[in-house]
Amino acid sequence: MKITHPLLAISSLISAASVSAFVLSPQSNGKTVSSSTKLYISSWGAGGPPSRRKEKPVSPEDNIQTYLKAPEPVAARPNLDGKVLVSGWVNCKERTDQTVFDFLNHEESAFRFEKIVAFVDDSKFAKKRLISRSARYTGLLDKLDFVQADTEGALPTLAQLEGIKSWVVNAGSDLQIVKDVAELVKQSSVENVSVLVTDAQSLTDASSAMDAAKAFDLPEGKAFTIVAVGAITEAPEGGSPYQIREFGTEEGLLPANATYSRDEGLRAVTECLGLTSACNKAMVFSEVTNVNQTEYKLVKGLREGGYTRPQEFDHMLTLGAEVSFADFPVVLKFSFVD
């Protein structure tokens, strides 16, 4: 008997499809099958030939190799152009913080921004940090612009947000900043906002987190995403699988020792800015180290199966191991019922 190693089964998905990682709008693959009352007489029996039988869905918990399909394009938000504002970074001497800008400028991403605006405490300092050789080679330098805050640590004013279409925010663990961002988005030209909450292990009151998320009761045409993670580490991007829970719930509270890779957090908050499946969702990402946990197997399988990072995040958001966000209308669709 020939035995195929599970990793080889997953890796074979890489060559199964050569597709673009993105489509501009969701596409339905569902087909309507008409029913018939005709008497069915066949050697196949009442079920008909195998080609007509509905395939029984496989859970990733039961069989990860059978569950995984070849990667397909994922739906990107249609308004990822114009100007994007990046706030809360490039304010310290310990690092350049160029990574978040590189992710927004990546040529294979869904982003088509004409300008990437760094909103910083000190524009002269920020220019020295971001004007690098790599920024020149990747074309980031041609898109970069700088706006200085009125006071250190301040959020942009409505005047400074004029003409901004998308906004990526580093809010730290300050839930008041999250609420203030929501109010600014409501009153400004911003259509997409993605907020990174760090040190979320210090947030021990689920109701306070939910109140911050509910502040994003945005008008039609605007969308938000909240990505909360634990204490920041310098571990490399993609080093650990992760699980996703609901921000603002008891299940979404992190243990006191929870940590998360800096670059992985930046990847999550920027990719979610581009994904339709991340619209109007508030999430907590936490690292998974238990090799027997379904999320661990699933994320490892997606990566070994040739899924790009956007495809990976989209799968975890829409078909993840346990959470289907459509099942949580109050928390994640925000019906704002008191």
pLDDT by residue for the chain (338 residues), tens only, comes to 444 444 444 444 444 444 457 665 444 343 434 444 444 344 555 555 555 555 555 666 667 777 788 899 999 999 999 999 999 999 998 999 999 999 999 999 999 999 999 999 999 999 999 988 989 999 999 999 999 999 999 999 999 999 999 999 999 999 999 999 999 999 999 999 999 999 999 999 999 999 999 999 999 999 999 999 999 999 999 999 999 999 999 999 999 999 999 999 999 999 999 999 999 999 999 999 999 999 999 999 999 999 999 999 999 999 887 544 443 333 344 443 44
Crossing angle between the packed helical segments 175-187 and 206-214, to the nearest 10 degrees: 10
d(CA 77, CA 274): 6
Half-sphere exposure of 251 (CA within 13 A, CB side): 10
